[in-house]
Amino acid sequence: MLTLPSSVRVYMAADATDMRRSFDRLAATVEGAFGFDITEGHLFVFINRKADQAKCLFWDRTGLCVLHKRLEVGTFSRVRDAQSGALHVEIDAAELSLMLEGIDLGGAKRKKRFRRGPRERESHEPVEPSPEIS
């Protein structure tokens, strides 16, 4: 089972992705098309056209990491459809874990639970160093 801190958000590309892409081109997609800073620590999921391969891209404080999974039999099913024109969709870490395990949530119903609304993007302003005490 995949365990992620609650501060990590998971975004899945709405369209199929060429699996020949690796670190740099996936990061360029995240920053250019999705509009996110790759170093914020969120996880980005990409699935190929045949839906038999998935790549997860994330920053781990020292560099980019790519997790690549290829299914020998079957396909990944997208847990949620993106709204018309959207380039990505946000999913829960639990949904990602179930998707990677091959569990189809298509007919499942989610019970009503408290969910925080979309978060405002935080601006990261430089912090001025405090004056030294002599």
| 87-132: pLDDT as tens digits | 898 988 888 888 888 887 777 676 777 766 665 444 444 445 445 5
Q: Rounded to 5 degrees, what angle do the CA atoms 47, 49, 55 make?
A: 20
| 55-83: pLDDT as tens digits | 999 998 899 999 999 999 999 887 667 77
In sequence order, which ranges of the chain are alpha helices (DSSP H)? Answer: 23-28, 93-101
List strands edge to edge, sheet with 53-59: 64-70, 53-59, 43-47, 10-13, 88-91
The residue with greater pLDDT, 29 or 101, is: 29
Are 45 and 96 within 8 A, CB to CB?
yes
Q: What are the tokens at 11?
A: 């975004």
The residue with greater pLDDT, 47 or 92, is: 47
Amino acid at 78: R
Q: b vs e for 18-37, b when ≥16 Cβ sit within 10 Å of the residue's Cβ?
A: ebebeeeebbebbeeeeebe
